[in-house]
Amino acid sequence: MAFGPLSISLAPYVQSSKTLLKWVQPLANWYANASRYRQYGFKYDDLLVEENPTVQRALSRLTPRETYDRAYRLKRASHASVLHAPLAKDQWTKPEEDVRYLVPHVSNVVAEDAERAKWDNVIVKKH
Partner 1 sequence: MFAARVSAARNVQRVARSFATAVESSGVKVAAVDNNGPTSSLTVLVKAGSRYESQAGIANALKNYAFKSTAKRTALGTVRESELYGGVLTSTLGREHLALTAEFLRGDEAFFLDVLSSFVTSAKFTRHEFQEYVAPLIEGDAAAAASNPAILAIELAHLIAFRQGLGSSLYASSHPHFGYKDVQEYASSVFTKDNIAVIGTNVDQAKVAELVNKAFASASSAAGPATSASTYFGGENRIESSSGLQTAFIGFGTTGAPSAEVATLAAYLSPSPSVKWSKGTSALAAAIPEGASVQSVYLPYSDASLVGLLVQAPTAAGVKQAGQAAVQALKKAASGVSQEELTSAVAKAKFAAASAVDARAGLVATIGSKIFSGSDLSVASTLSTFDAVNASAFSKAASSLVSSKPTYVAVGEVGSLPYADELGL
Q: CA-to-CA distance for 119 and 123, rounded, in angstroms? A: 9
Nearest by Cα to 47 from 98, 123, 84, 119:
98
Closer to partner 1 by Cβ: residue 95 or 104: 104
Residue 68 makes contact with partner 1 by CB under 8 A: no
Yes or no: say if 6 and 103 are a contact pair by the CB < 8 Å rule: yes
DSSP3 helix / strand / coil % (the chain, rounded to 5): 65, 0, 35
Contacts with 81 (C-beta within 8 Å, 6 or more apart), sequence order: 40
Member of 19, 22, 124, 127 binding partner 1 (CB under 8 A): 124
Closest approach, Cβ 71 to partner 1, in A, equals 18
Among 61, 69, 98, 101, binds partner 1 (CB under 8 A): 61
How many residues sit close enough to partner 1 to count as binding (CB under 8 A)?
11
User: Which part of the chain contacts partner 1 (CB under 8 A), choosing from 3-11, 38-46, 86-94, 107-115?
Assistant: 107-115
Residues that bind partner 1 (CB under 8 A): 60-61, 63, 105, 108, 112, 115-116, 119, 122, 124
